[in-house]
């Protein structure tokens, strides 16, 4: 799949974008499917950002990788209230992909980021999701492949969140 | 009672529509909208979308119950996780003069009774199940019109069964 996306791309960013686009429709469908599979009592649509992220962090990750994601954090930066981070210490998609040295910027978890983006969009929380590797590649590091998915919601989502919170 | 059922996508675009009548109480399953009112159904259903958007953030439930009425037309809504809306317009037939006592207890004549609400919920639940199965097709993309004859026949069956 990666090599399919790699054909006729101009750079790493372009390639990641393509992987992202491949994941997007999967996310849209998984949202509906997974909610349908929940026990009837818990079949509620996510109404706020936290609920969506919880859904991704737990239900989606369990479905895709058989375990919940490793961490879910809000950005520390006060100026960026719209950014959230989901981190995975060892993304399954990167396990058997060896990235050549000259492309060390590339993170193929961009595909998973696309799925996450699809879920957010589908639930009515338009967002941009990008994957970043934070492992420094040093020897003896605990999680060399640690990846952070940065979820940046669009302004209107945050606005609506505040409005709904008031009522 | 006559029904008009529509599925609307995330861009408020119609994905599926179907018109039918009640099969309960000896109904023959044929919609009996007045000829002048028939083409208004689409307008009524779309105009209730504003209310859907207001209600949808208030509750996490998918079934939003009866949300709107326009004279003698009632609109019930079900909203899926993917922000697709199922809207059902139901308008009770004019009370029959021959047998009024029997008609008043049936769901056909009483659009505000809890029994009607339950029947519509059962209908929506069944349609929702089939909807999920249909859109899981790998060739289906979001906001695509659903033309599957299998889906249509299942909606018809659900309508016969519950309404």
User: pTM to 2 decimals?
Assistant: 0.81
Residues of chain A contacting B81 with CB distance shorter than 8 Å: 31-32, 35-36, 45-46, 122-123
Residues of B with CB under 8 A from a CB of A: 56-57, 59-62, 79-83, 128-129, 132, 135-136, 141-142
| Contacts for B31 with CB less than 8 Å, ≥ 6 apart | B2, B3, B4, B19, B20, B21
Compute chain A's Rg from CA coordinates. 16
Pairing relation of β-strands A127-133 and B85-91? unpaired
Chain B residues touching A47 at Cβ < 8 A:
57, 59-60
* pLDDT of amino acid A33: 86
Contacts of residue A24, Cβ cutoff 8 Å, sequence gap at least 6: A114, A115, A117, A118, A121
Of B61, B135, B142, the CB nearest to A44: B61
Angle at B10 between CA B39 and CA B90, to 5 degrees: 35
According to the model, what pLDDT value does residue B42 have? Answer: 86
CATH entry, A2-166, from 3.40.190.290, 3.40.50.720, 3.30.1380.20, 3.60.20.10: 3.30.1380.20
Its ipTM equals 0.76
Chain A residue numbers with beta carbons less than 8 Å from the beta carbon of B137 are none
Per-residue pLDDT for B46 more than 50? Answer: yes
Nearest to A160 by CA among B53, B46, B163: B53
Q: Name the maximum alpha-carbon separation found in chain A.
A: 53
Higher pLDDT, B36 or B105: B36
Question: Tokens for A41?
Answer: 């009592």
Nearest-Cα residue of chain A relative to residue B57:
A47
Place of tokens 């998973």: A112
CB A149 within 8 A of CB A116: yes
What token pair was written down for B117?
Answer: 């609400």
**HSE toward the beta carbon, residue B121, CA cutoff 13 A:** 12
The answer to whether the Cβ–Cβ distance between B82 and A25 falls below 8 Å is: no
* pLDDT tens column, B133-154: 888 888 888 888 888 899 999 9
B25: nearest Cα among B102, B128, B115, B86: B102
pLDDT confidence bin for A139, thresholds 50/70/90: low
pLDDT tens-digit map of A21-78: 888 888 888 888 888 888 777 778 888 888 888 888 888 888 888 888 888 888 777 7
What ranges do the domains of chain A cover? 2-166
Among chain A, residues having any CB pair with chain B shorter than 8 Å are: 25, 28-29, 31-33, 35-36, 43-47, 51, 122-124, 160, 164
How far is it, in rounded angstroms, from Cα B111 to Cα B90? 8
pLDDT tops 80 at residue A140: no
Backbone angles phi, psi at B103, to 5 degrees: -65, -30
Helix, strand, or coil here: B141?
Answer: coil
Kindly give, in sequence order, each residue whose CB lies less than 8 Å from that of residue A166, ignoring residues fewer than 6 positions away: none
Query: Strand A71-74 and strand A83-88: pairing?
Result: antiparallel
Q: How far apart are CA A44 and CA B60, in angstroms?
A: 5
């Amino acid at each position: 799949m990666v090599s399919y996306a790699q054909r006729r791309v101009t750079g790493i960013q372009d390639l990641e974008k393509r992987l992202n686009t491949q994941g997007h429709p999967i996310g849209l469908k998984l949202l509906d499917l997974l909610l349908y599979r929940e026990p009837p009592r818990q079949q509620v649509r996510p109404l706020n950002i936290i609920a969506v992220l919880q859904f991704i962090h737990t239900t989606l990750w369990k479905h895709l990788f058989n375990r919940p994601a490793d961490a879910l954090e809000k950005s520390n930066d006060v100026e960026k209230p719209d950014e959230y981070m989901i981190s995975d210490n060892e993304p399954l998609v990167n396990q058997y992909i060896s990235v050549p040295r000259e492309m060390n910027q590339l993170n193929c978890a961009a595909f998973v980021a696309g799925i996450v983006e699809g879920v957010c969009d589908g639930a009515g929380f338009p967002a941009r999701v990008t994957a970043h590797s934070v492992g420094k590649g040093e020897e003896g590091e605990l999680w060399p492949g640690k990846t952070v998915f940065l979820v940046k919601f669009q302004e209107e989502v945050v606005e609506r969140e505040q409005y709904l919170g008031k009522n | 009672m006559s029904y008009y059922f529509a599925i609307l996508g995330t861009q408020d675009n119609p994905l599926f529509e179907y018109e039918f009548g009640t099969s309960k109480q000896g109904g023959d399953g044929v919609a009996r909208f007045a000829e002048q009112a028939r083409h208004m159904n689409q307008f009524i259903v779309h105009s209730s979308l504003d209310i859907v958007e207001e209600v949808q953030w208030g509750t996490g439930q998918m079934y939003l119950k009866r949300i709107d009425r326009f004279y003698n037309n009632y609109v019930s809504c079900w909203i899926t996780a993917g922000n697709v809306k199922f809207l059902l317009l139901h308008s009770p037939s004019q009370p029959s003069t021959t047998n009024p006592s029997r008609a008043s207890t049936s769901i056909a004549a009483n659009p505000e009774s809890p029994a009607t609400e339950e029947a519509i919920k059962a209908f929506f639940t069944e349609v929702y199940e089939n909807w999920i199965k249909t859109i899981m097709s790998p060739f289906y993309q979001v906001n695509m019109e659903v033309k599957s004859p299998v889906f249509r026949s299942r909606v018809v069956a659900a309508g016969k069964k519950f309404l």
